[in-house]
Structure 1
Amino acid sequence: MHGTQPDKPVALLRTSLIRAALALAVIVCGLSLRWYGFPLGLPAFVVKYGGSLLWATMVFLLVGVLLPRLTRTQIAAIAVVIAVVVEFSRLVHTPWLDAFRLTTAGALLLGRIFSLWNLVAYAAGTAFGDWIDRLATTHALVGCAKAP
């Protein structure tokens, strides 16, 4: 059963809560990077693709929150599909969609400019999400099993 998620409702809830907390932390990191990266003198590459990496990590974690019974591999596959669809949606231009992309929310959620390099950042972000999820949920569930 390596790589599978726990079946007990309490364990599923605990896993979802851990993932939600991780997603919140990743969102804070991503927003901080986008808002303060340039003023802190970080290179444009780090700000641009670090934000994309963190965005994909957030997607991985949120998919895991919504679908806690799936394996990490299944969660990663769904997260990658979402990332690819969002990236390629940037090639679609309608007045309402372009207007939304000009808002802060639109820029953060959908982005503005298509880039194949974003797909690389999304793959790395999904792998990072898998790694931090594995660390956090494995340690939390092992700690839970040892509790009296």
Structure 2
Amino acid sequence: MNRHPLTYGALTVFIVALGLLSRTAYITALLPGIINAYLGDALWAAMIFTGFGFLFRNIRTETSAILSLSFCYLIECSQLYHAPWIDAIRSSTLGGLILGWQFVWSDIFAYTVGVCAAALLEWAVKRNRRLSS
């Protein structure tokens, strides 16, 4: 599949905006607690998937999903490591958003849901295009 970089760049930015919006009091008041607990992590993982789609336009959806999940899992596992230099990075807003603070098994589940949802959407769009042609 040849992904259009502008589309995937825009999707990445859109998902970032959704992720930041999902952390606001207005949105958290509207959604059930279980959704609030995992939405940000699932959107983060979906953003990683679209980011890989932006960077690697010709790789298969399955490959992009595996790379995205591996990246997400690696970041989560890195949260088991605490040294002053990496904790200093984590103490910044951007560093905390990217690296997180503590390893949580439920984040692995949220990442899997986010990447799978993004991959399924890509497959559906790809299939729809093929059927329309």
Q: Could you tell me the TM-score, scaled by structure 2's length?
A: 0.86
User: What is the distance in 2 between the residues matched to 1:131 and 1:69?
Assistant: 17
Instruction: For structure 2, list consecutive stretches of 5 or more residues without a partner in the other structure.
Output: none
Cα displacement string for residues 31-74 of structure 1 (whole angstroms, at most 9, x for unaligned residues): 00013344x35444322311000000000110111011100000
The equivalent of 2:36 in structure 1 is: 47
* Counterpart amino acid of residue 16 in structure 2: I
2-structure distance, mates of 1:84, 1:118? 9
Moved more, 21-30 or 68-77: 21-30
Deviation at 1:132, TM superposition (A): 2.7
Runs of 4+ in 1 over 6 A off after TM superposition: none
Instruction: Give the whole-Å Cα distance in 2 for the aligned partners of 1:67 and 1:106.
Output: 24
TM-score, L = length of structure 1: 0.78
Q: Which residue of 2 aligns with 1:65?
A: 54
Residue range with higher mean Cα deviation, 130-139 or 113-122: 130-139
In structure 1, list runs of 5 or more residues that go unmatched. 7-11
Aligned equivalents of 1:91, 1:50: Cα separation in 2 = 22
Q: What's the % identity of the aligned pairs?
A: 27
Alignment of 1:11-50 (within 5 A): 12=3, 14=4, 16-36=5-25, 37-38=27-28, 40=29, 42-50=31-39
For residue 118 of structure 2, give the secondary structure of its aligned residue in structure 1: helix
Match of 2:79 in 1: 90
Task: State which structure, 1 or 2, has the greater radius of gyration over its C-alpha atoms.
Answer: 1
**CA 1:62/1:137 → structure 2, altered by over 3 Å: closer, same or farther?**
farther
- Deviating more after overlay: 90-99 vs 40-49: 40-49
Q: Over aligned residues, Cα RMSD in angstroms?
A: 2.1
